[in-house]
Chains A and B, each alone.
Chain A
């Protein structure tokens, strides 16, 4: 019988515990709190209940429940919250994770398999977490003579490019990380990063299969960028703006897919090609060139590229929703928020609990419109994601020359047809000033 710790003494254990706690408190009070104060000193603080928040008050408000909500609200209004959580990284990563699970399950059903089943009690719901743990604990093997700094940086840059793309997507009225006037052009600029990151990763691996895959990815993404750009020109012509929030807001009566279906179809096909999805998954063609430009990526590097790929998928689906399906517009199905709780307090028998700050939270930040807009946006985006995933179970892969032929001859021609449809709609007075609203 083995003993885990033969010299174990309870008194010694308690003593070591107390020592650790004392040291932790000492370091926290001598270094930690001054450091937090110094950082907070340079952060612009909000005005709460008519007084400017100082670093000291920020600490006391956390202990005061009636002033916690205004603090939370002030935090939710900062750019940092938008970047980290709601319209930004956290929200997109959550939807991307959901997409991975749904894709595996749906593909399995299409091919009469079961899919992830054992991990987690219900239908393999924890499969993704298991895969993540597996990937993070696997060894990262870097091929000999690889260009190490670039090879390490490429997966991170891929995720970062996808995140920059996500930053431009408006989710609900006012809920967008970067509300820029040239939003659509910024999207094109960010899309231009992906081939560069791909070819960097492929070149630095010093291996043949990644290099062939990287060159294929470069040609594919670059060829389909022109139909992509031209197919969205129709929407810009009928709205007269490049701001994505304004484009989404302009579709309050009808989505543009009703008037510009050709552009929507061309954009959808080019979207599949930019995402390297079947039938355009030539850069990762597993039956021809092992795994294409992902061949030498192992462990968490591969995991990061997967995360970036699905973030990009979400961003493209969201862009389709914003441009053609009306973004956050839709029927109001979210019930009105319980304002009487905010104004009069929550009544539980003889006790009435007043929650301070809830009223301004409900009227300024989390309104009925915002919740409904987010719900509509997510529903439409999930629908578009479903149609992006569906071809994987239906179509075979096409040849490279067919791909280039499709992109350069057919899709560009159709994109021009779309431009002339938009021009005709504007000049016939159907859309634009004086037309349908």
Chain B
């Protein structure tokens, strides 16, 4: 396996960034053209009010409210990283000796146990 420089590996991703930039360059004119050819009338200030099904909006638009799913977000922060760690093992599985799987199974067991505990806790909504 030949070694690659870090910059070489990172340089491979430049086309992804180029594609990202191309989409911005190609799509922003659509908004500009739309802005140029579409009518712009400031006839009534009510027109620019936030949509609230025909009612005059009351209160703040960006309110803080209880979503009740906050524990899931906390769990995501942990388990997303943990799931990516599994990829380091999974992508090298064919080259690893079989004994290397045993600690990985232990890791999976810990992860599974922790996740079931978190799910059990998230079911008790009163603590949030």
A→B interface (CB under 8 Å)? 79, 82-84, 88-89, 135-145, 152, 155-157, 159-164, 166-168, 177-181, 184-186, 188, 190, 203, 205-209, 211, 215, 218-219, 222-223, 225-226, 229-230, 233, 236-237, 240-242, 290, 295-296, 299-301, 303-304, 307, 400, 404, 408-409, 412, 416, 419, 423, 426-427, 432-433
Contact = CB atoms under 8 A, between A and B. Distances in A.
Contacts of B91: 236-237, 240-242
The 10 closest A-B pairs by CB, nearest first: A207-B50, A163-B23, A300-B34, A206-B61, A167-B19, A240-B94, A160-B23, A178-B15, A164-B20, A144-B48
A160 B73 contact: no
A203 B62 CA distance: 7
A163 B41 CA distance: 34
Contacts of B17: 164
Contact of B92 (A155, A240, A290, A412): A240
Contact of B95 (A139, A168, A240): A240
A180 B31 contact: no
Given A79-B15, A140-B38, A156-B31, A404 B69 contact: yes
Given A208-B61, A222-B73, A304-B31, A296 B51 contact: yes
B26 A226 contact: no
Contact of A89 (B22, B31, B35, B69): B22
Interface residues of B, number: 63
A290 B51 contact: yes
Contacts of B37: 136-137
A211 B63 contact: yes
Contacts, number: 204
- Chain A at the B interface: SS class: helix
Given A167-B15, A301-B31, A185 B84 contact: yes
Contact of A139 (B18, B30, B41): B41
B72 interface: yes
Nearest to A135: B34
A89 B76 contact: no
B38 A137 contact: yes
B128 interface: no
A23 to B, nearest CB: 24
Contacts of B13: 178, 180, 186
A226 B78 CA distance: 10
Interface of B: 9, 12-13, 15-24, 26-28, 30-31, 33-35, 37-41, 45, 47-53, 57, 61-63, 67, 69, 72-73, 75-76, 79-80, 83-84, 86-87, 90-95, 98, 101, 108, 112, 115, 119, 122
- Chain B at the A interface: SS class: helix
B52 A208 contact: yes
A264 B123 CA distance: 28
Contacts of B21: 160
A354 B20 CA distance: 41
A230 B86 contact: yes
B30 A300 contact: yes
A226 B22 contact: no
Contacts of A155: 27, 31
23 contacts: A89-B19, A89-B23, A136-B38, A141-B48, A143-B49, A143-B50, A144-B48, A145-B61, A156-B28, A156-B31, A159-B24, A188-B84, A203-B62, A206-B62, A207-B50, A208-B61, A219-B73, A222-B73, A222-B76, A223-B76, A229-B80, A237-B90, A426-B93
